[in-house]
Amino acid sequence: MIELEVKNLNKRFGGLHVLKDVSFGIKGAELIGLIGPNGAGKTTLTNILDGAIKPNSGTVYLNGQRIDQLPPFEVAKVGLGRTFQVTRSFRRMTVLENLYVPALAKHVAADKTEVTNKALEVLDFLTMRHLRNEYAQALSGGQQKLLELGRLLMLDPDIIILDEPFAGVHPTLMEIIYEYIRKVNEEGKAIVLISHQMDSIFSLCKRLLVLNYGDLIADGAPEDVKNDPVVVDAYLGKDDDENSDTTNNEKQNSA
Amino acid sequence: MNRQQTLWLISILIIVFFMTFPFLYGRRDYDYIMHVLITGFFYAILASSWSMLSGYAGQFSFGHMAFMGLGAYGTALFSHYFYLSPVPTNLCTEFEIGDQYFIIKDAIGVTSSTLDQDCLTKALAIWDGSVQITPMPIWIGILLGSMLGGIFGLLIGMLVLRLRAAYLALFTLGFSEILRATISAEIKITRGQAGIELPYLFENGITVFGHEFSKTDKIPPYYVMFFLLLACMAVLAWLAKSRFGLFVRALREDEDAAAALGVNTVRFKIMVFVITSTMAALAGAVQAHYVGIITPNNLMILQMSLVVAMAVIGGLENFAAAAIGAIIIQFLLELLRESFVIGGVEVDMTLWRLVFFGALLMITLRFYRNGLITPIIEFFTRAHVASETVEKRMDPKTEDVEEEGITG
C-alpha cells in the first residue's frame, strides 16, 4: 500500500520561512487537493517531495524509504512523479521520445518493443497518437500538458503531483485531464492536485490540504475545509452577495 | 526505395568516394589536396564530437581544443622524453625493465647553445653509434594522450556540474586559456612557443600490399584519419540512437524535468564530457603525429571558434551534419585562398576568405538555425512526419509507419 509520511518539514530561504513544521500523510490511492494563495509554499513543498531542494529540517518517507535527502532521479525511481507549473516538455524531441525517457530511465532492462507499445497506448488515451513523431515544440500548450501527463504514465510512480494541470487548457483537453486523473486514481495511484481552480478541486478531490504562508492550516474533507473560517479568511473568501467581488477567481486574476 | 534508404545509399556513396579518392585523384597538387582532406577529417572529428557535447547534451563548452591539445601534448611529451635502451646511459633517470632500460630524458627546454644538450644526446655522443636506442611505440603515446584528455574531461565535467549556458562557456574558455598559457610558460618541459616535434605516424615508412610508402607520403595518414573519423562517427551514431543519446538530449532540453523523470543527469553530464574529450584528444594525438609538431597556437581560441563555426554551419544538433560541415568548410577555406583581380584591384583572399567565412556563419545563424546540412538530412528522415500527422488526424485507422526507435 502507498504510504507517504511528511514530518515537521521546514524550509527557509534566507530570512523567509517558507514551510513551517508541515506534517501530513497519504495512505493508499487518495486524491488530494493542495491549495493555498500564491506564495503559500505549495511549489516549495512539491520541490522538496521530489528531491529538487532539500529541507532545513524534517523528514519525508515514501513506502518506508526516506526520500528527503535523495536526488530527484532516485525519488522518481522510488515512486514519486510530478508535473511542473509551467509545462516542461522536451521541446526538440519527438512526442514518442518524450515518453521513452521516463520508461527507459526507470527500467534499465526495459524491452524496447514493450516500451513503444506502452507509449502508443498512452498516446491513444491522450488522443495524441497522430502526433507521435512530431517534435514537442510543435504541440499546442494544452497538448504539451497532456504530454507531461503521458510521461508520468510511462514513469508509473505510486504518487503523482500535478501542479496546475488545468491552467490555460481548452475545455476539451480539460475533459481528458479530468478523465486522466480519475483513471490513474482508480488504478491505485495517489494523486496530489495543486490548482487554483476550486471547481475542479472540489469535484475531484476527497481531501484537501491548505497551505498559507508556510503553515498547513487545514487538512480534511472538502466540505469541512470549505466551511473552515480560517481557510475562508486566508484563501477562499466569503461566497455571499456582499463579498462576491472577492471570490477566489478574482483573487487568481489579481495574482 | 524510400527516403531513409536513399539517405543510406548516399552515405555509402560518400564513404566509397573518400575510400577511393587517393587512387582516383591524380593532379599535380595531389599532396596539397590530400593534406586538406586529412585536416578536414581531423576537424570533422572535432566538430562532430563537439556537436555531441554542445548540440545533443547542451553543454556549450569552449574547451574542446584544449582536450585536443592534451591528447597532442600527451603523446608528444611521451615520445619526446621516453626511450628504451639496451644499456644504461648513467646520465638520465632510468629503470631496468627486463633486458632493457627505460630512459627518461631530462627537460632542458629550447637552447641554441650546442653546449646545452640533454642527457640522452650526451650518451649517444659517448656511444658514438655503438648503441641503438628505441623510441616508444607511438600508439602507446596516442593511447595515453587520449586517456589524458578523458581524465581532464572527467575533472572538467565534475567541476561544471552546476554551471549552465554562458557560465559553462566562460569556465571552459578559462580552462582552455590556462592550459595554453601553462604550455607556453613551461618552456623547459614543453619547449613553449617553439613546440615539440613528434615522430610521424609511420616514421619508418610502411608497406601495404607490396607498395612502399615513405614517412611523408599522404596516403597512409589519409586512411588512418579517415578510418578514425568513421570509427568516431560509428560510436557517435550508436550513442545518439541509444538511451545515452535520448537522456543527454533530455538533459539539454530541461535538466530538472529529466531528473524528475528518473534520469541521472549528473552521470550523463560527466559521461558526455569524458567521451567527447577523449575523442578530441584522440584526434589531436593522431593529427600531431601526422603534422610532426605541436605548438600552443593549436589551442588558441581562434581554432576553437573554427570548430564551433564548422559545427554550427553544418548543423549543431546532428553530429553527421557537423562532420560534413567541417570537411566542406575546410575545403572552402582552402579554395578561397586564391586571390583574384577586380577592375585592376587585386583582392588578397588569404585575408578576405575569413570575411566570407564569417558572413556565411552569420547568414547560417540568422536564417538556418539548424545549419545548412541538417535540413538536407531531415528531408530524408523527417519529411514524412507532417503529412503523416495530418493523414492520421483525418483518418486514425491509417497504418502506422515504423517508429523511430532506440537501440541500446
pLDDT greater than 90 at residue B4: no
> What's residue B406's pLDDT?
61
pLDDT interval class at B338 (50, 70, 90)? confident
pLDDT in tens, B363-390: 999 999 889 999 999 888 887 787 777 7
pLDDT interval class at B249 (50, 70, 90)? very high
Mean pLDDT of B250-269: 95
**Can you tell me the ipTM of this complex?**
0.88
Residue A134 in contact with partner chain B when CB distance is under 8 A = yes
Q: What number of CA atoms fall less than 13 Å from residue B225's CA on the CB side?
A: 32
pLDDT interval class at B403 (50, 70, 90)? low
pTM of the predicted structure, to 2 decimals: 0.89
pLDDT greater than 70 at residue B402: no
Residue type, B235: V
With an 8 Å Cβ cutoff, are B254 and A96 in contact? no
Mean pLDDT of B258-284: 96
Residue B244 in contact with partner chain A when CB distance is under 8 A = no
Least trusted range by pLDDT, from A35-49, B89-103, B265-279, B327-341? B327-341
The share of chain B scoring above pLDDT 90, in percent, equals 73
> What's residue A245's pLDDT?
45
pLDDT in tens, B271-283: 999 999 999 999 9
pLDDT in tens, B109-133: 877 666 678 899 999 999 998 999 9
Q: Measure Cα distances from B327 to B18, B332, B369 in Å.
A: 11, 9, 19
At B97, which helix (H) or strand (E)?
Answer: strand B93-97
Residue B344 in contact with partner chain A when CB distance is under 8 A = no
C-alpha cell at B26: 591524380
Judged by DSSP in three states, A24 sits in: strand
> What's residue A246's pLDDT?
45
Mean pLDDT of B60-76: 96
> What's residue A240's pLDDT?
56
Cα B103 from chain centroid? 31
Residue type, B271: M
Nearest to B155 by CA among B172, B138, B132, B169: B172
Residue A14 in contact with partner chain B when CB distance is under 8 A = no
Judged by DSSP in three states, B226 sits in: helix
| Burial tier of B338 (Cβ tally within 10 Å: 0-12, 13-18, 19+) | exposed
pLDDT in tens, A17-39: 999 999 999 999 999 999 998 88
Note which residues in 144-203 of chain A have CB less than 8 A from chain B.
151, 155
What number of helices (H) and strands (E) belong to chain A?
10, 10
pLDDT greater than 80 at residue B407: no
With an 8 Å Cβ cutoff, are B262 and A76 in contact? yes
Going by DSSP bridges, is the β-strand pair B93-97/A80-82 parallel, antiparallel, or unpaired? unpaired
> What's residue B256's pLDDT?
94
Residue B243 in contact with partner chain A when CB distance is under 8 A = yes
pLDDT interval class at B239 (50, 70, 90)? very high
Least trusted range by pLDDT, from A33-47, A131-145, B57-71, B393-407? B393-407
Mean pLDDT score across all residues of chain B: 90
Q: Measure Cα distances from A79 to A106, A108, B225, B330 in Å.
A: 10, 15, 48, 51
Residue B108 in contact with partner chain A when CB distance is under 8 A = no
> Phi first, then psi: what are they for B96, rounded to 5°?
-85, 125
With an 8 Å Cβ cutoff, are A131 and B389 in contact? yes
> Of all residues in chain B, what percent are helix, strand and coil, respectively (each to 5)?
65, 10, 25
With an 8 Å Cβ cutoff, are B389 and A134 in contact? yes
Judged by DSSP in three states, B285 sits in: helix
pLDDT under 70: residue ranges of chain A: 238-255
Chain A residues with beta carbon closer than 8 angstroms to that of B315: none
> What's residue A194's pLDDT?
94
Q: Which of A133, A139, A158 to mutate to test the interface with B (most CBs of B within 10 A)?
A: A133
Mean pLDDT of B189-210: 92
With an 8 Å Cβ cutoff, are A96 and B249 in contact? no
With an 8 Å Cβ cutoff, are B253 and A92 in contact? yes
